């Protein structure tokens, strides 16, 4: 599979290059680089034919669009609430714009500010503030809900830049979300003025809260939090030692809402609507609506937005009687996300998500034929479907595919993991191969338990026992593999130049192997046709 031949690939690269240039260049480097690029462009432009000149002009236009998108995205409104961030006590009125999350003795949410009161004056403001409220010992306080209009008293500050090279930069992290200040107060300093608006996000938030409460009621605490992590991509509820085990074993991606969740939704609801003889057009439209509802419910992170855009475009292609091309869908999803938020390019979740998916799409077409060639004849020799030998071979083929997927994902993501987290997991391939099947089974059993609980708790009880057993098995595997000192190797952060050369080399090797594989296949087909 040649990625470079996809029509969206050069435009995606040009747009990303524009984003990088707009965010990383400093003033003393801009002028020389601009002169060099201008001379190189003019010289190359004069040597090209008309059609090539048009293509280059389009690429330059996309590059400029990336630069301009970053400039417009980073502009701060004149009445942004961060203009008043002086560390003083203020009284802010606004609407809660995210689902409040609990972190020990505090809760955190995004406050869409509408007004601010200081000791001197009252002002109308806009923009968002990351709000942290410390909980009190009084059991009578109420946790606010998404969409409520509240008034909060606290100290408004601008977060500091990270002073240690390579460490987490909280100010840059908030800036990527267009949040430029923080508000810190107590839960007793909050008062609710009015209820939430009944919109789609409010419905999704209510559905998520209901799912969380029902799951924690049906399963023991640790197992229920693990199931919620798999279903909703919310690993913050898990204990720190469990999160560390998932991190060291290289299986943390299982606790992030991604394409796997989208596949489960399409598989289950698509099959049900197919059995109910729903027309294909209606079925695909309903599936697209369900996918976006789920994406909103889990917080619309980079991985789930990428997967939702891809699957939505995949389903829409069949509605338009077109055959979807998966690499183009990945590139299209990247352009959509970066068009909305260009600074998402520097988010580690975005980078891990897209590099893993692209690596899988480039590696698996080369590996999968070998797996099928080895196992398919052996499975075909088993005469009956109930033959144990047939089941063992089918399970072995699934395990081989899972190992290949894990290896492909590791090829794509290990430099990014090493750069941000300074470790490389030694057991990642083995751990993912074991837990892949458990995740599928646990997801199915978890959904079946939730569905059965709607009818009767008695019916849901046997499903919950099976779910608990699968969750305990998965936790045992992850905790055992992630608890050893040799589970991961500490490494220095590779430079961006090394990472660029690494991915360029991997792309060149995979393209070269793909060409040779296609040539061998063509020669074989020609020889077969001749004889």
Give the distance between the most distant pair of CA atoms in the chain: 93
- Residue 384 DSSP symbol: S
Full DSSP string of 234-273: -GGGS-HHHHHHHHHTT-GGGGS--HHHHHHHHHHHHHHH
Provide the sign of the torsion angle of the four alpha carbons 224, 225, 226, 230, taken in this order.
positive
Residue among 371, 429, 362 nearest 398 (CA) = 371
Domains of the chain: 3-73 (no CATH), 81-197 (2.40.50), 364-426+487-520 (no CATH)
User: How do residues 287-309 score in pLDDT, each as one tens digit?
Assistant: 988 888 888 887 777 677 878 88
**Which tokens is 282 given?**
């209606």
Is residue 17 over pLDDT 90?
no
Could you tell me how many residues make up the chain? Answer: 531
Is the pLDDT at 526 greater than 50, yes or no?
no
- Model confidence at 31, pLDDT cuts 50, 70, 90, reads very low
CA dist 296 to 27, 336, 348, Å? 39, 16, 20
Of 269, 337, 268, nearest in space to 307 by CA: 337
Question: Percent of the chain at pLDDT above 90?
Answer: 7
Residues 21-46 have a mean pLDDT of 52
For residue 463, give both structure tokens: 């499903």
Q: Write out pLDDT tens, residues 261-278.
A: 777 778 878 888 888 888
Residue 183 pLDDT class (50, 70, 90 cuts): very high
Question: pLDDT tens, 373-407?
Answer: 776 666 566 555 556 666 676 767 777 777 788 78
pLDDT band at 518 (very low <50, low <70, confident <90, very high): low
> 339 and 291 in contact (C-beta within 8 Å)?
no
Q: How far is CA 469 from CA 113, 226, 235, 475, 480, in A?
A: 46, 12, 20, 10, 16
Q: How far apart are CA 360 and CA 252, in angstroms?
A: 17
Kindly indicate the confidence band of residue 512, based on its pLDDT and cuts at 50, 70 and 90. Answer: confident
Q: What is the pLDDT of residues 129-139, one digit of tens each?
A: 999 999 887 75
135 close to 185: Cβ distance less than 8 angstroms: no
- Answer yes or no: is pLDDT of 123 > 80: yes
Q: Rounded to the nearest 5 degrees, what angle is found at the Cα of 249, between the Cα atoms of 243 and 254? A: 65
Cα–Cα distance for residue pair 131/142, rounded to 1 Å: 16
Asked if residue 349 lies in contact with residue 301, where contact means CB atoms within 8 angstroms, the answer is yes
């Amino acid at each position: 599979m040649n990625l470079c031949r996809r029509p969206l690939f050069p435009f995606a690269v040009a747009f990303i290059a524009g984003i990088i240039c707009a965010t990383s260049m400093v003033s003393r480097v801009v002028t020389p680089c601009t002169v060099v690029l201008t001379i190189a462009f003019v010289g190359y432009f004069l040597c090209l034919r008309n059609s090539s000149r048009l293509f280059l002009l389009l690429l330059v236009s996309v590059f400029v669009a990336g630069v301009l998108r970053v400039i417009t995205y980073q502009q701060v409104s004149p009445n942004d609430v961060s203009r008043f961030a002086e560390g003083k006590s203020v009284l802010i009125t606004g609407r809660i714009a995210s689902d409040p999350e609990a972190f020990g003795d505090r809760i955190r949410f995004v406050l869409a500010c509408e007004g601010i009161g200081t000791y001197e004056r009252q002002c109308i403001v806009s923009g968002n503030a990351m709000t942290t409220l410390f909980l009190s010992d009084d059991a009578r306080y109420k946790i606010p809900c998404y969409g409520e209009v509240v008034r909060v008293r606290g100290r408004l500050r601008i977060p500091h830049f990270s002073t240690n090279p390579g460490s987490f930069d909280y100010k840059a992290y908030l800036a990527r979300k267009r949040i430029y200040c923080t508000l810190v107060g107590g839960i007793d300093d909050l008062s609710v003025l009015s209820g939430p608006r009944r919109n789609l996000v409010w419905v999704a938030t209510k559905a998520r809260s209901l799912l969380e409460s029902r799951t924690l009621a049906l399963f023991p605490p640790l197992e229920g939090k693990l199931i919620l992590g798999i279903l909703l991509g919310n690993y913050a509820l898990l204990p720190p030692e469990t999160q560390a085990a998932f991190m060291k074993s290289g299986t943390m991606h299982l606790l992030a809402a991604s394409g796997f969740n989208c596949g489960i939704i399409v598989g289950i609801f698509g099959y049900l609507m197919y059995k109910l003889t729903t027309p294909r057009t209606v079925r695909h439209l309903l599936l697209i609506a369900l996918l976006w509802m789920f994406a909103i419910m889990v917080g619309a992170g980079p991985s789930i937005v990428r997967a939702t855009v891809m699957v939505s475009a995949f389903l829409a292609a069949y509605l338009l009687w077109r055959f979807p091309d998966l690499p183009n869908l990945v590139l299209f999803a990247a352009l959509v996300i970066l068009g909305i938020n260009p600074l998402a390019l520097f988010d580690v979740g975005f980078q891990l998500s897209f590099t893993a998916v692209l690596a899988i799409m480039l590696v698996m077409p080369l590996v999968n034929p070998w797996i099928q060639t080895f196992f398919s004849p052996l499975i075909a020799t088993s005469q009956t479907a109930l033959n144990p030998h047939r089941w063992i071979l089918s399970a072995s083929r699934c395990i081989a595919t899972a190992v290949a997927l894990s290896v492909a994902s590791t090829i794509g993501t290990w430099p990014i993991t090493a750069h941000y987290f300074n470790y490389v997991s030694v057991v990642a391939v083995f751990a993912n191969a074991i837990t892949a099947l458990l995740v599928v089974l646990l997801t199915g059993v978890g959904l079946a338990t939730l569905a059965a609980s709607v009818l009767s708790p008695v019916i849901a009880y046997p499903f919950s026992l099976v779910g608990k057993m699968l969750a305990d098995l998965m936790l045992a595997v992850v905790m055992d593999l992630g608890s050893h000192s040799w589970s991961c190797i500490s490494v220095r952060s590779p430079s961006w130049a090394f990472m660029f050369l690494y991915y360029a080399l991997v792309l060149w090797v995979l393209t070269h192997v793909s060409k040779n594989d296609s040539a061998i296949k063509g020669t074989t087909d020609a020889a077969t046709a001749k004889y």
